[in-house]
Amino acid sequence: DAKTTQPTSMDCAEGRAANLPCNHSTISGNEYVYWYRQIHSQGPQYIIHGLKNNETNEMASLIITEDRKSSTLILPHATLRDTAVYYCIVRVEYSGAGSYQLTFGKGTKLSVIP
C-alpha cells in the first residue's frame, strides 16, 4: 500500500496561488488520494479527493499526474486563514492482515504571509 511524501513547510504570499506537492509513487490503481488540512488546535478538515482525473471544488483544485505517482493541491488565492498543516493521504495497511486506515503523516505546514 502507498505512503506519501510531502515537503515539511512552504510559504505563500497572500492572494497568490499555493501549490502543495505530494508524492505517492506506490499508490495502487483503485486508491484515492485525499487532502485534509488542520488549522492550529482544531480537528482536521476535509478538502478534496481524487482518483485519476483532476478535481475542483469551492476550496481547492487537485491535479493528479497521469501515472498517478504524484499530485498537487492548489489553493487559487491563498488567504491568511489558509495557514495550516496540509495532509496528503492514501490508504495504508497495518497489522498485515488486510487492515487498512487513512494515515495522517506530518503533512506540509503552509504559512500564508501578508
Partner 1 sequence: NAGVTQTPKFRVLKTGQSMTLLCAQDMNHEYMYWYRQDPGMGLRLIHYSVGEGTTAKGEVPDGYNVSRLKKQNFLLGLESAAPSQTSVYFCASSYNILWVTNTEAFFGQGTRLTVV
Query: Which residues form the interface with partner 1 (CB under 8 A)?
Result: 32, 34, 36, 41-46, 49, 51, 87, 91, 94-95, 99-107
Smallest gap from residue 15 Cβ to partner 1 (A): 28
Smallest gap from residue 34 Cβ to partner 1 (A): 8
CA distance 15 to 77: 5
Nearer to partner 1 among residue 17 and residue 45 (C-beta): 45
What values do phi and psi take at 103, rounded to 5? -95, 125
To the nearest 10°, report the CA torsion of 42, 91, 73, 12. 50
CA distance 19 to 110: 10
Smallest gap from residue 1 Cβ to partner 1 (A): 9
3-state secondary structure of 58: coil
Nearer to partner 1 among residue 2 and residue 78 (C-beta): 2
Nearer to partner 1 among residue 12 and residue 88 (C-beta): 88
